[in-house]
């Protein structure tokens, strides 16, 4: 008799009466690295740490799991949970995982999960603890790999939230979640309203808004940083909007040699977060 948690290759589901069969009922189609075709409200994740993070924090969000046979030992707790909760899973070939993820960077596991929707700013502020806090306002960031790297750094340094402007189309994708290495589940996303209202709410909660600019700002390493700070990070190419930068309370820059114009937005974010963490630790010592 086999163990009750041992994965098995399941037959393709039978389409409902009157429905047209899918082109491949066993393996749902994928379009590209950032836009796989999943039901509305779902997200296709791939990468071992990304899937493990969802299982650790939101197991009820998992809807389907696909894995390579070599990943069975590493994913035994997840597979036992799938059996107990009657969640479908399939052991598939490497090439099938490539198709499911629309990427070769799947690390042997793909999962369809319910998407965690961003919360509103007011709700987030109500639940925010007192004391030192850092948040990131992403003004025009759009590259999923940069977004994933930002989420990874944010999780590492204990960022309270990533703030998304009202009109931003940025959302978590499979590519971003893989690059984040589990960080996407550790850092909440918050959807902002009008910029002026959001600025007022954040200031009312004790936050200082710090625009990050390539040049002309105060060196982030010179002097203490505010205990409650929102770093406003600009787009990958043109940087943050200059008019918006003047609306912020501080303008900060990362001093360098000048050998290159600036840091990549994800690299700059990591440097800024490290500077804040160091300043906050020194102030509380």
Question: Which of 55, 81, 115 delimits the end of a domain?
Answer: 115
CATH classification of the domain holding 78: 3.30.1330.30
- 3-state secondary structure at position 89: strand
Q: 129-173: per-residue pLDDT in tens?
A: 999 999 999 988 889 999 999 999 999 999 999 999 999 999 999
Domain that includes residue 75, residue range: 1-115
Question: Which of 115, 136, 155 delimits the end of a domain?
Answer: 115
Q: Angle 61-55-160 (CA atoms, 0-180°, nearest 5)?
A: 85
Residue 137, both tokens = 């306002």
- Return the closest-CA partner of residue 181 out of 50, 35, 5: 50
Distance of CA 167 to the CA centre of its chain: 18
pTM of the model: 0.85
Q: Are residue 245 and residue 190 in the same domain, yes or no? A: yes
Q: How far apart are the first and last CA of the chain?
A: 60
Q: Are residue 155 and residue 110 in the same domain, yes or no? A: no
Q: Are residue 78 and residue 175 in the same domain, yes or no? A: no
Q: Give the residue-averaged pLDDT of 1-30.
A: 38
Check whether 227 has a pLDDT greater than 50: yes
Q: 73-86: per-residue pLDDT in tens?
A: 999 999 999 999 99
Give, in order, the Cα–Cα distances in Å from 253 to each of 153, 213, 249, 270, 276. Answer: 18, 5, 14, 13, 13
Q: Are residue 135 and residue 276 in the same domain, yes or no? A: yes
Place of tokens 């930068």: 245
For residue 233, what are the β-bridge partners?
A: 138
Of residues 108 and 22, more confidently modeled: 108
Question: How many domains, the chain?
Answer: 2
- Return the closest-CA partner of residue 44 out of 28, 55, 60: 28
CATH classification of the domain holding 187: 3.40.1280.10
What pLDDT was estimated at residue 235?
77
Question: Which of 85, 115, 145 delimits the end of a domain?
Answer: 115
Which band of pLDDT confidence, cut at 50, 70 and 90, is reported for residue 40?
Answer: confident
SS3 annotation, 182-246 = CHHHCCCEEECCCHHHHHHHHHHCCCEEEEECCCCCEECCCCCCCCEEEEEEEECCCECCHHHHH
Residue 273, both tokens = 């977060």
Separation CA 285–CA 277 (nearest Å) = 12
Separation CA 82–CA 54 (nearest Å) = 13
Distance of CA 191 to the CA centre of its chain: 14
Q: Are residue 106 and residue 123 in the same domain, yes or no? A: no
Q: Are residue 131 and residue 99 in the same domain, yes or no? A: no
Check whether 212 has a pLDDT greater than 50: yes
Which band of pLDDT confidence, cut at 50, 70 and 90, is reported for residue 49?
Answer: very high
Q: Are residue 139 and residue 273 in the same domain, yes or no? A: yes
Q: Angle 213-260-235 (CA atoms, 0-180°, nearest 5)?
A: 40
What pLDDT was estimated at residue 16?
31
Give, in order, the Cα–Cα distances in Å from 141 to each of 168, 179, 186, 240. Answer: 9, 15, 19, 9
Q: Are residue 89 and residue 140 in the same domain, yes or no? A: no
What pLDDT was estimated at residue 20?
29
Q: Are residue 83 and residue 215 in the same domain, yes or no? A: no
Instruction: Give the CA-trace dihedral at 124, 126, 132, 133, to 10 degrees.
Output: 10
What pLDDT was estimated at residue 28?
55
Instruction: Produce one character per residue of 175-193: b if its CB has 16 or more CB atoms within 10 Å, e if not.
Output: bbbbbbbbbbbbbbbbbbe
Which band of pLDDT confidence, cut at 50, 70 and 90, is reported for residue 234?
Answer: confident
The single-letter DSSP state of residue 122 is H
If one counts every other C-beta atom within 10 angstroms of the C-beta of residue 279, the result is 19
Q: Are residue 145 and residue 96 in the same domain, yes or no? A: no
Q: Are residue 157 and residue 174 in the same domain, yes or no? A: yes
Any idea how long the chain is? 285
Q: 235-245: per-residue pLDDT in tens?
A: 776 667 788 88
Q: Are residue 71 and residue 42 in the same domain, yes or no? A: yes
Separation CA 20–CA 128 (nearest Å) = 49
Of residues 247 and 235, more confidently modeled: 247
């Amino acid at each position: 008799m086999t163990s009750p948690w041992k994965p098995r290759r399941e037959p393709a589901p039978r389409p409902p009466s009157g429905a047209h069969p899918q082109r491949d009922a066993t393996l749902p189609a994928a379009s590209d690295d950032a836009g796989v075709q999943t039901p509305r409200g779902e997200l296709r994740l791939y990468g071992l740490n990304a899937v493990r993070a969802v299982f650790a924090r939101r197991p009820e969000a998992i809807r389907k799991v696909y894995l390579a046979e070599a990943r069975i030992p590493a994913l035994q707790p997840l597979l036992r949970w799938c059996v107990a909760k009657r969640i479908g899973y399939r052991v598939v070939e490497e090439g099938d995982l490539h198709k499911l993820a629309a990427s070769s960077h799947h690390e042997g596991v793909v999962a369809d999960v319910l998407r965690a929707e961003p919360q509103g700013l007011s709700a987030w502020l109500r639940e925010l603890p007192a004391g030192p806090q850092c948040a990131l306002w992403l003004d025009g960031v759009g590259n999923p790999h940069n977004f994933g790297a930002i989420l990874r750094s944010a999780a590492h340094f204990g960022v309270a939230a990533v703030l998304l402007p009202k009109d931003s189309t940025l959302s978590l994708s499979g590519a971003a979640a893989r690059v984040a290495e589990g960080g996407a589940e550790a850092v909440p996303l918050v959807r902002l309203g009008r910029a002026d209202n959001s600025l007022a709410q954040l200031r009312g909660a004790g936050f200082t808004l710090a625009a990050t600019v390539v040049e002309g700002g105060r060196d982030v390493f010179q002097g203490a940083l505010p205990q409650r700070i929102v770093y406003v990070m600009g787009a990958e190419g043109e940087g943050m909007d200059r008019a918006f930068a003047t609306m912020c309370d501080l303008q900060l820059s990362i001093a360098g040699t000048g050998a290159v114009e600036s840091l990549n937005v994800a690299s700059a974010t990591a440097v800024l977060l490290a500077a804040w963490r160091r300043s906050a630790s020194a102030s509380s010592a």
